[in-house]
Structure 1
Amino acid sequence: MNIQEFKKVLLNIIKWNEEKISSENNYDLLNKQLLDVYQFVFKITYIFDEKDYNNYDRKINKKSWNNIQNNFPEFQQYNVTKDVSVNISNTELLIGDPIDDLNDIINDFKEVIWCLENTSENDALWYFMFGYESHWGKHLSDLLYYLYNSKFGL
């Protein structure tokens, strides 16, 4: 796996909450970028880095939320099922928010980039995989599902 390509893919997604993106079709561009990230989940190998590093200082930035809204003014809440593989036909519906999904994905990717620049490659790759398994992976799956359904009117 090329670490520079990996970093570039993450930075392309991070841009959505930092600037106005001028694209003919932001939905398709974001969809492609999310799928580009998804491929790394299956390519990454790392050795757990046991060194004790400083922690990433996660800052909440309201402007970043607004930038996502400006890039995707048509984003709106959507349905998410609480239980996907249990309680079939008898599960609660929850509300998903594509702006929240993308913002959470971006914040987790900012931490991975910070680790690449301030700790070690193995540490960054561990954070990427840990985030996929515990947080941003669900947001990514939900957001891809939302983008698909929005595009095809389902």
Structure 2
Amino acid sequence: MKDLIPTINEIIKFGLYPSLSETNKETLLEKNLIKIYSLYFDITYTFDKAKYPDFNKKQFRNVQKNVESNFKDFGFYKIILDIQNIDGLQESALGDAIDDLSDIILDLLEIKWRINNNSLNDGLWYFKFIFHAHTQEHIIGLLNFMKQKNT
């Protein structure tokens, strides 16, 4: 798990700092999103029964604004609601790459905060929980958007 925090840091910087002057931002983001996705499969922890304070997302109010400044060509995209329903080709919804990355960053900020402020086990438990429940879908949607945007 030595790669977890450095990988989180490589992704969250796009929500913490506006208008970063990094070259190949999208390639760097894609690489680290895939790395986070891969790290999920290696998570092992012992459930920590201790009571800890809650993470305060309000301290990160500028995440979406900073993401917008770092990825100016990110925007809306179409999602097929049920990919297995071949007859229901009209059943689609709207996705948002800015929202995807903002949500991913907020999830990763909480994982990092729990590791640094609560315990390693609490942070890893939360990673396992939030990835399956929320982050994974945003990563898949964002990676698909990035792939299709660049083809």
1:90 to 88, 91, 101: 88
Aligned equivalents of 1:59, 1:42: Cα separation in 2: 30
Structure 2: gaps (5+ residues): none
Structure 1 unmatched runs, 5+:
none
Superposed, which structure 2 residues align to 1:1-150 within 5 Å?
1-2=1-2, 5-19=3-17, 20-59=19-58, 61-85=60-84, 87-91=85-89, 92-150=91-149
State the shift of 1:61 in Å.
4.4
Name the CA distance, whole Å, in 2 between partners of 1:139 and 1:100: 8
RMSD: 1.4
Q: Secondary structure at the match of 1:47?
A: coil
Is the partner of 1:8 in helix, strand or coil?
helix
2:67–2:98 Cα contact (<8 Å) kept:
yes
Q: TM-score, normalised by structure 2?
A: 0.92
Q: In structure 1, the residue corresponding to 2:58 is in which secondary structure?
A: coil
User: What's the CA shift string for 1:35-69, capped at 9, x where partnerless?
Assistant: 11111011111111111111112217442211111
Alpha-carbon distance in structure 2 between the residues aligned to 1:33 and 1:95: 25
Amino acid at match of 2:7: V
Report the identity percentage: 36
1:138 deviates by 0.4
> For 2:150, what is the secondary structure of its paired residue?
helix
Give the CA deviation at 1:33: 1.2
Q: Structure 1 segments of 4 or more deviating over 6 A?
A: none
Contact 2:47–2:121, Cα closer than 8 Å, also in 1: yes
Question: Using the alignment, how far apart are the partners of 1:60 and 1:104 within structure 2?
Answer: 14
Aligned residues: 149
